[in-house]
Amino acid sequence: MAENDEYGFQERFQRVADNIGGVVVGADEEIRLALICLFSSGHLLLEGPPGVAKTTLAKAIARSLSGLSVRRIQFTPDLLPSDIVGVPIYHPELGDFRFHPGAVFANVVIGDEINRASPRAQAALLEPMAERQVTVDGVTHVLPDPFFCVATRNPAEYLGTYGLPEAQLDRFQMRLRIGFPHQHHEIAIIEGGLSDNVPERLEAVLSREEALAMIDVAARTYVEPSILGFVASLAAGTRRDRDVRLGVSPRAAIALATAARAAARAAGRAYVTGDDVKRLVVPVFAHRLALSSEALQRGRSAEQVLARVIESVDAPEGRAA
C-alpha cells in the first residue's frame, strides 16, 4: 500500500476497477476515468456507437457497489419531466397531495440514449445534477447520497435525436468516448458473451459506506496554489484560442481540479500533480468546447485545440501539504 494511501483508497479503487474489467474488456483507461468521476462526485457521459458496452460499463459500476439504489431511465421522445423527477398525486383517503419520487431518486441513475428525449425532459436533469435535489411545486426534495448520473448517447445517429445544450453538457464532469475494440479484445468479448458474462453476474466489492469514505478522502486531497493556477490558465486558454467560439466555464475548471484529486488518490498520493491535471483535460474539457464554424470547416477537433492549450501552459510539479 502506498505511503499516502489514506483509507486504502488506491487498493479499494483497483478492486472495483478489476471487478468491472471482468465484464468490460479492453477498456482499462475508460474504467479508471469512470471511477475517478464517481469518487469525485461527478457525472459521466458515455459516447459511442451502439453495442460497444456503454450501458454495460454503467451497469457494471452500479453492480460493483453494494447498498446503493440503481434506476435506469430509457430516454425516449415521449418521456416526461415528471417521469424523471416525480409528481405530486392526490390521495382522496388522505385529502392531500403526496409527492411520488421519479426515477432520479437513486444513488446511481443510468440514462440510456439521453439525446432521444426532448429538451424539456433533458432539462429535468439540470437541477438534480447540479444541486443534488429536485424542486416540485415549490418543495425541495434532496436526492440520495451519493448521487451518480451516467448517461449514454450515440453521436453518429441523428434520426429521432435532440442535441444536448451547453448547460446540460456542462453538468457532466467527464465525457468518455467508447470506440470499437481491438480484435484480440473483441475475441475475449465474444467469448464472454457466449458464456453469459454480464454485469448482472458481478459481485459487489465495495459498500456504500466505503464509497462515501473514499469520496470524503478524495475531497480532502491537497491541491497547492500553483496547481490551481495551472487549472485556471488552462481554462482561460480555451477562451482565448482562435478556433474556439465558447470556452469552458468556471464549473469546468472546478470539475478538472476535483477530478485530479481523485486521480491523485487512485495513484496513491495525497496531493495533486500537474500530470494528474494534464491527463484529465480532454475528458473534462473537450465536450464543453464549442468550436468556431471556421474551425469546424477546417476539420479541427476539440482534442486538437486542447493539445495546443496544454502545450502553451507550463505544468507545475505539485507537492504535498
DSSP secondary structure string for all residues of 213-254: HHHHHHHT-B--HHHHHHHHHHHHHHHH-TTEEE---HHHHH
Mean pLDDT of 45-73: 92
The closest of 42, 76, 260 to 170, measured between CA atoms, is 42
Q: How confident is the model at residue 162 (pLDDT cuts 50, 70, 90)?
A: confident
Beta-bridge partners for 268: none
197, pLDDT greater than 80: no
Q: Pinpoint the alpha helices (H) of 113-182.
A: 119-123, 126-131, 166-169
CA–CA separation, 41 and 212 (whole Å): 10
pLDDT of residue 317: 85
What's the pLDDT score for residue 40? 98
Q: Tell me, what's the pLDDT at 94?
A: 80
Digit-coded pLDDT (tens) for 91-145: 888 878 889 999 999 999 999 999 999 999 999 999 999 999 999 989 999 999 9
- What is residue 157's predicted lDDT score, i.e. its pLDDT? 66
Q: Which amino acid, 9?
A: F
Average pLDDT of the segment spanning 293-300: 95
Q: Which long-range contacts (CB under 8 A, 24 or more apart) does 253-258 make?
A: 255/42, 255/173, 255/174, 255/284, 256/231, 256/280, 256/281, 256/284, 256/285, 257/223, 257/227, 257/228, 257/231, 258/40, 258/41, 258/42, 258/173, 258/219
The whole-number pLDDT of residue 16 equals 97
Alpha-carbon distance of 213 to 235, in angstroms, equals 30
The pLDDT mean for the chain works out to: 92
When pLDDT is cut at 50, 70 and 90, the band that residue 4 belongs to is low
Gap between the Cα atoms of 60 and 53, Å rounded = 10
Give the model confidence (pLDDT) of 216-264 as tens digits: 999 999 999 999 999 999 999 999 999 999 999 999 999 999 999 999 9
Q: Is the pLDDT of residue 161 over 50?
A: yes
Rounded percentage of the chain residues whose pLDDT exceeds 90:
76
> Quick one: pLDDT at residue 1?
42
Predicted pLDDT of residue 240: 95
Determine how β-strand 139-142 pairs with β-strand 133-136.
antiparallel
What is residue 158's predicted lDDT score, i.e. its pLDDT?
A: 65
- pLDDT (0 to 100) of residue 156: 63
Render 155-169 in DSSP notation, one character per residue.
Answer: TT--TT--PPPHHHH
Q: If you search the block for the grid coordinates 488518490, which residue do you land on?
A: 265
Domains of the chain: 1-206 (3.40.50.300), 221-321 (1.10.8.80)
Average pLDDT over residues 203-219: 96
Q: Which of 53-57, 154-158, 201-205, 251-255 has the highest mean pLDDT?
A: 251-255
Contacts of 28 (CB under 8 A, 6+ apart): 17, 21
